[in-house]
Amino acid sequence: MRIVIAEDSVLLLDGLTRLLQTEGHDVVGHRTAEDMVAALTAPDASLPDLLVTDVRMPPSHTDEGLRAAVHLRSLYPDLPVLVLSQYVEQRYAAELFAHGSRAVGYVLKDRVADVEEFLDAVARVAGGGTVLDPEVVSQVLARTRHELDDLTPREREVLALMAEGLSNAAIADRLVVGPAAVEKHVTNILTKLGLPVDADTHRRVLAVLRWLDRNGEAR
């Protein structure tokens, strides 16, 4: 598929390009968020299948990449976007997910070093799924821990994976249990937290995040 990458570090851009090319993708790299936005908003621009962008980029080295991603999402709501962040910033995640969580990913840049995980995230976001970094999820969960006292440890584990954007099958795979067991856990969790039971992964993520966010704010 066609992937556009915005990354100011030449080395990393180089490494990612090489990696994705060996996986058989067609890769276009940009050094700044501005270049990327310019390329994608040009009159004759054709949208890629996935956009991968760093958060912090020139000229101000703050959150250009994120703002560009949010801007592009508002222009093309279906454009899959995977944001790589140097730090876990819940605020960044909230801004990014504000326009819906379908085909959105927010992961720590360090995850890229784990090539399989990165390629998995690329595939999931490009396929319309949601990917949220475990670090962000655990931060949110830590913030709202006492609200989750009713959940069993296993259920909490499942909730974290749900929030990361995994499907029931992927959760079963990760926890090495059967799909039926996962389904039972998920139903229990959603019932205990008073959330609508939904099989759609990204809507599930959205509900979980909204719940966590609301309860986090209430503290």
Q: Which of 26, 78, 110, 200 binds another protein (CB under 8 A)?
A: 110
Stretch that binds another protein, among 17-25, 31-39, 131-139, 144-152 (CB under 8 A): 17-25
Q: Which residues pair with 51 in a beta bridge?
A: 4, 81
By CB under 8 A, the residues from 61 to 80 that bind another protein are 61
Closest to another protein by CB, 72 or 136: 136
Q: Which of 2, 15, 99, 100 binds another protein (CB under 8 A)?
A: 15
Residue 199 half-sphere exposure toward CB, CA atoms < 13 A = 3
CB of 122 to another protein, least distance (A): 13
Q: Does 56 bind another protein (CB under 8 A)?
A: yes
Q: Please report, as a single letter, which amino acid is at residue 149.
A: D
The sign of the CA dihedral 30, 72, 211, 215 is positive
* Segment interacting with another protein (CB under 8 A) among 7-15, 31-39, 94-102, 181-189: 7-15
Q: Supply 53's token pair.
A: 């962008």
Site for another protein contains 177 (CB under 8 A): no
Mark 20-39 with x for binding to another protein (rule: CB under 8 A) and - for no binding. --x-----------------
Strand order in the sheet with 130-132: 26-30, 2-6, 50-54, 81-85, 104-108, 130-132
Nearer Cβ to another protein (9/41): 9
Binding test (CB under 8 A) with another protein, winner from 38, 113, 197, 199 = 113
What residues make contact with another protein under the rule CB under 8 A?
A: 8-9, 11-12, 14-16, 18-19, 22, 56, 61, 86, 109-110, 112-116, 118
